[in-house]
Structure 1
Amino acid sequence: MSSATGVAPVLADSSPEDRTARLLAGFADGADERATRARPAYAPRIDRAFARFAEKVGEPMQAWAAEALVQTPGETVFYPFAGADFPTAHRMYPLAARYVLIAMQRGGPPPDPAAQGREALGELLAGYERLLSAFLRRGFFVTAEMNAETGNDAAIRGITGALMVFAAREGFELLGVDPVALADDGTLTLHPGDRTRAATWDSVRLRLRRRADGQPVLLEYLRVGLSNNTLKPETPALTLVTGLSDARVILKAASHLPQDNNFTVLTRLLLSRAPTIVQDETGVAYDALRGRFSVKLHGSFKQVNLLFDGSDQETLIEAYRTAGKIDRLPFHVGYRKGAAACMLVATRATVTSDAR
């Protein structure tokens, strides 16, 4: 599933969103003369960045996940604190039918390069080059950088365009993009608001078709707070997250928020409901995980990133130290911390079908 080669060309009857996604993804068949004049080196630079990511991270991650994780066709994947990181969700669970990413950035309307003048189009492409290249180099988004590149004064308005690019690069045809809203009963519905207003596009649903087999897939990005202040009893947000907690869960580069006292409602839901949690050290605390899950350690862990307090990680450090031989992860993931990356695969002990 290379993100740089072997991808079906854009079709004449493809959606405007699909054509935009392929242009911004750097595919030659998606380029147009205006974009080439506005930023001549954009497509080759983006193509090279995705090729490096596929080689160093994407393909090794998918190969690792095929062995380390249970893969159930048609399932739902829940990725809190994700930002626009669809590649991780898809590479870990390539057979899912629904991916739900939650963060606090605005989704935003689909970008429309055709409506941009040459100077504005050049600024738009430059913004996407910076935003995408930074992710592809690190494997995660830095919140401050993302906010700067997608804020009110930036050429990029929200992260929907990045999601569109990732979908195209991960082998999907983009059928359409819709704004969604959280209904009173905690379900998602098409947003009834004016589509010309930015607030209508806080949360988005990308309707995709997997090019490999033609299967429909949903990618939903939701701007929903995950702190205790938002997930209060009898609120739509709590109902939504409670339901999503029954799905496969990914936690990566989560700023250790699931270990914070302000996020205990979310953490309790994941601990009580999730069948599996795959995470780096920034997810649910190791002591809490091993009380309810069978936890398999992958990679290496000796310290947290220096930006975070590592005082509550001693148990996890000791677990790695005493675990004996653990294979090194074949890809980098999460924050840099002066040691090899780590992943924990937690499988609920009572769900025997999830054990390998």
Structure 2
Amino acid sequence: MYLRAAALRVLPALFFLAACSESATQTEKVVEAPDSAPAVAALPKADSITTDTKPVSSPAADTAYVQDVAAYLGGLRPSSQSELAPLAGQPAWQAFAQDQDKSWQKYRSTHTERMTKWSATELDSVQRNSPTIFYPFSGPDFLNVFTMFPHSQTYVMIGLEPVGSVPARATLENPKLFPAIKASLWSVLNFSFFRTNDMAVDLKSVELDGALPLMMLFAARTGNQVTAIRPVRLDAAGQLQEAPADTAQANDPKSKFIPGAEMKLRGPDGQPKTVYYFSADLSDFKLQTKDAPLQFVRGLGPLTTYVKSASYLMHKAYFNKIRRVVLRRSRFILQDDSGIAMKYFQQGAWNFRHYGTYKRPINLFAKHYQPELTTAYADSVHPPQPLPFGTGYNWRQTDSNLLLAKRLIPLAD
């Protein structure tokens, strides 16, 4: 690493200054799988979601190419018959692949293995009752949500980052691609979160034009096979549609549509999965004129919501709309202290389990300190449980926290 050990004490604050500004008030949006996705049938209101299910290209060609691209981006060798095989034989990619193997091996030992073991025990019943995961303010972070909920069928992610596209051959041949990937992954593989402002720049480059390339990479590195990808969008009523091929039209900021992408996977266990990513601002101001994300989320069945490194946005008065939807439509909420403030949980409506350690937010978010959490973590009758990995802005294992909230009363209409 290019940072010295002494600098690590102040590193989180430096990252947050670059990462979690008020401009990051864009949030993530929820999208439901089309009728062809198996998860939809399990959602009560899925029939209200309309979409054109015609594939973007022939399934065989699309399946082979997108998986090879995902592997190539992740430093994993594409299939021998792939058109990318010659590129993977070049010294630049081979050096990149070796570097990625080292980074991912370290991440597995410090995070993935511990997270998988912990979640299999502490989230066992949650995982078995969570067909749909909602991850607002996610950015491209499929890595953490899949690690926590590997058995879910549908994942709905929303962030400010542009959607992006499957990289073309010219992009994959560009020598600037590998440094761009390494720069984008550096903080998430070392500290479990993305640097928001840096990511906004990284994902508007020629090499990485949005969240989708990194989501593909994460899918490959977590043992998933990418079987198909297509552009989608939400109309003004929150209905899912296939997006036009015209990228200029799809990315028009004046458009009434919410742009997104649908990624089909075959999980490590062989089961199909559907991942949606939408680029949307979830602040109350934006939702006044573009409330398709809210319309869509309200149409989903019972949710499990996951929130981490969310800039404490749902602590704020001007994120009331998305906060209320999460609280009204979720059976389970797994979050760090940057998610929904404790004062917004209805008394007597939730059961709470606290994990790890709660001290104070990093300096950038000091005003979001919660005395209620300090009290909860000092409870000798119901003491907090251990958390064997680091997560969130207080990324060290000894400083991290998670809250599991389980609903005790029926879902709101």
TM range (shorter): 0.7 to 0.9
**Residue 342 (structure 1) aligns with:** 401
Instruction: Out of 168-177 and 195-204, give the one that drifted further.
Output: 195-204
**Residue 3 (structure 1) aligns with:** none
**Residue 19 (structure 1) aligns with:** 68
How far residue 217 of structure 1 moved from its aligned partner, in angstroms, is 0.6
Report 1:1-356 matches (<5 A). Answer: 14-29=63-78, 32-35=85-88, 36-69=90-123, 70-72=126-128, 75-112=131-168, 114-116=169-171, 118=173, 121-151=174-204, 153-194=205-246, 199=251, 202-213=259-270, 215-232=271-288, 235-244=291-300, 246-289=302-345, 291=347, 292-310=349-367, 312-323=369-380, 325-336=383-394, 339-350=398-409
How far residue 326 of structure 1 moved from its aligned partner, in angstroms, is 2.8
**Residue 5 (structure 1) aligns with:** none
1:327 maps to a residue whose letter is Q
How far residue 211 of structure 1 moved from its aligned partner, in angstroms, is 3.7
**Residue 24 (structure 2) aligns with:** none
| 1:148/1:154 contact within 8 Å kept | no
SS at match of 2:340: coil
The CA deviation string for residues 84-133 of structure 1, in whole angstroms up to 9 with x for no partner, is 11121111111111001100110111112x32485xx2101210122123
Instruction: Out of 127-136 and 271-280, give the one that drifted further.
Output: 127-136
**Residue 52 (structure 2) aligns with:** none
Change in Cα spacing, 1:329 to 1:283, as seen in structure 2 (3 Å) is: same
SS at match of 2:140: coil
How far residue 305 of structure 1 moved from its aligned partner, in angstroms, is 1.2
2:350 maps to a residue whose letter is F
1:330 maps to a residue whose letter is P
Separation in 1 of the partners of 2:249 and 2:366? 41
1:52 maps to a residue whose letter is K
How far residue 167 of structure 1 moved from its aligned partner, in angstroms, is 0.7
Change in Cα spacing, 1:264 to 1:73, as seen in structure 2 (3 Å) is: closer
Separation in 2 of the partners of 1:126 and 1:26? 12
1:41 maps to a residue whose letter is A
TM-score (structure 1 length as normaliser)? 0.86
Separation in 2 of the partners of 1:347 and 1:309? 27
Separation in 2 of the partners of 1:74 and 1:308? 31
How far residue 45 of structure 1 moved from its aligned partner, in angstroms, is 0.9
| 1:226/1:263 contact within 8 Å kept | yes
1:90 maps to a residue whose letter is F
How far residue 309 of structure 1 moved from its aligned partner, in angstroms, is 2.6
| 2:75/2:97 contact within 8 Å kept | yes
Instruction: Out of 229-238 and 218-227, give the one that drifted further.
Output: 229-238
| 1:108/1:202 contact within 8 Å kept | no
Structure 1 unaligned spans of 5+: 1-10
Separation in 1 of the partners of 2:134 and 2:156? 5
RMSD: 2.6
Structure 2 unaligned spans of 5+: 1-59, 253-257
How far residue 301 of structure 1 moved from its aligned partner, in angstroms, is 0.4
How far residue 287 of structure 1 moved from its aligned partner, in angstroms, is 2.5
The CA deviation string for residues 163-188 of structure 1, in whole angstroms up to 9 with x for no partner, is 00111111111111111110233121
Instruction: Out of 302-311 and 166-175, give the one that drifted further.
Output: 302-311
2:388 maps to a residue whose letter is P
Separation in 1 of the partners of 2:62 and 2:138? 32
TM-score (structure 2 length as normaliser)? 0.75
SS at match of 2:157: strand
1:110 maps to a residue whose letter is V
| 2:220/2:226 contact within 8 Å kept | yes
